[in-house]
Amino acid sequence: MQPITFMKKRLKLIIMRTIQSWILLFLLLTACNENVILLDEINDDQINYSDSLISISGLSLYWKHFVFGDEGRRIIFEFYDIKEKNYDYELVFHYTIDKNTINVYLIDTLNHGKCAAFPSPYGLDTMCISKGGFYISDTILINDHYKFELITKDFVVHCDFNITDSSYQLIIPDNNNFTCSIENVFPIPKDIVYGSIVFNGNNNMDDANKLKEEYKKLGLQNTTLPDYPNRHFFLNEDGTPIDKTWPPDKYSLGLVYKSNGISFKKIAELTKDVFTDSELNIYLASGMGDEARFSQTQGIFIVYAGE
């Protein structure tokens, strides 16, 4: 019986040492990069990876806040393969939001054929960068701290994503697979109307000022906005809109108003009345995605958000 007892003890020792080795290996891996987590830690039965999904060693990201189009107010994420390839692949993503965790999955790569050849100093360049993306409506995100996890078959990177009324922040830790040069994006406030009045000749200045007075009578209120980067406003350092003039006699007056609940349709109707009897060109937009252009050469173009 003694040999059997010895073998049992020996086997138990081997098992314990094996477990200890695995634990040590795990600790070493996480210590090297605590922000890259193991694929086995991600569990989402609804995600189906395509058989055509190719290996991707790394991704870069461009992202922004956008309000125009049928999709409404949203955050756009555009990913790019960090390595050029001979074939043009479309990167296909799927995302899920579970409480305060946003999981972004690269689920497929669609092959659109060989890259177009372009001349370069070294001959024809036959390689191109694969890309793809998605958007998240800003109406489904609340002011809070989120975990943002980029998940591919080859790597997973864990990031932090912070949402406030005035800014979105994506914090990407040091890693070898995922990069982005934009950390902060500043959403366009919902309750603003902005644009410009453009005209030729100082004799039209009175009509421009009259229109601005009509906006105030309607209920619009002059306001200022911080001149954040990545936001397409032309503002002075104090946040007021910029007025410009250039030869021989051309003018552009900037507009930034708080809407105070006045519908964009009412604003557009008032603008049309003034435009019809003037030589002004007027360009307006709202934080909800409305657009209006009143051009002396191209006519009137209006798009109401949600219609």
- Tell the CATH topology of 192-303: Alpha-Beta Plaits (3.30.70)
| Buried-state track 187-202, b at ≥16 Cβ within 10 A, e below 16 | bbbeebbbbbbbbeee
The domains of the chain are located at: 39-185, 192-303
Give, in degrees to the nearest 5, the angle at Cα 172 between 151 and 146: 70
Give the pair of three-digit tokens for residue 56. Answer: 């991707």
Cα–Cα distance measured from residue 92 to residue 48, given in angstroms and rounded to the nearest whole number:
12
Average pLDDT over residues 165-173: 96
Residue 92, pLDDT score: 97
Does the pLDDT of residue 201 top 90, yes or no? yes
201 DSSP assignment: S
Q: What whole-number distance in Å separates Cα of residue 200 and Cα of residue 203?
A: 8
Determine which of 39-43, 78-82, 115-119, 198-202 has the lowest per-residue pLDDT on average.
Answer: 39-43
User: How is residue 189 written in tokens?
Assistant: 């406030």
Half-sphere exposure of 44 (CA within 13 A, CB side): 20
Please classify residue 72 by burial: count the beta carbons closer than 10 Å to its beta carbon, then call 0-12 exposed, 13-18 middle and 19+ buried: middle
Q: Which helix (H) or strand (E) holds 126?
A: none
Q: Chain-wide mean pLDDT for the chain?
A: 87
Q: Give residue 6's pLDDT.
A: 40
Token pair of 175, please? 């890693």
Per-residue pLDDT tens over the stretch 217-232: 999 999 998 878 767 6
pTM for the whole structure:
0.80
Query: Which one is predicted more confidently, 14 or 172?
Result: 172
First vs last Cα of the chain: how many Å apart? 86
Count of helix runs (H) and strand runs (E) in the chain: 3, 19
Q: Summarize the confidence of residues 89-108 as an average pLDDT.
A: 96
Q: How far is 8 from 56, CA to CA, in rounded Å? A: 47
Has residue 206 got a pLDDT over 50? yes
Looking at beta carbons, which pairs linking 165-169 to residues 24 or more positions away fall under 8 Å? 166/226, 167/228, 168/65, 168/75
- Whether 175 and 57 have beta carbons less than 8 Å apart is answered as no
Would you call the peptide bond into 173 cis, given omega within 30 degrees of 0 as the criterion?
no
- Neighbouring residues of 160: CB distance < 8 A, sequence distance ≥ 6: 145, 146, 147, 148, 169, 170, 171
Would you state the pLDDT for residue 119?
84
How far CA 133 is from CA of 81, 149, 229, in Å, comes to 11, 15, 22
SS3 label, residue 299 = strand
Query: What is the pLDDT confidence band of residue 285, given thresholds at 50, 70 and 90?
Result: very high
Strands 59-66 and 178-180: parallel
Cβ-Cβ contacts under 8 Å for 64 (sequence gap 6 or more): 75, 76, 182, 185, 230
- For tokens 């002059």, what's the residue? 222
- The upper half-sphere exposure of residue 268, i.e. CA atoms within 13 Å in the direction of its Cβ, equals 17
- How confident is the model at residue 45, as a pLDDT? 55
Give the pLDDT confidence of 127-139 residue by residue, as tens digits.
999 999 999 999 9
Q: Is the pLDDT of residue 105 over 80?
A: yes
Structural tokens at position 297 = 């050469």
Span 77-85, average pLDDT: 97
Task: Map tokens 């092959």 to a residue.
Answer: 111
Q: Up-side HSE of residue 184: CA atoms within 13 Å toward CB?
A: 8
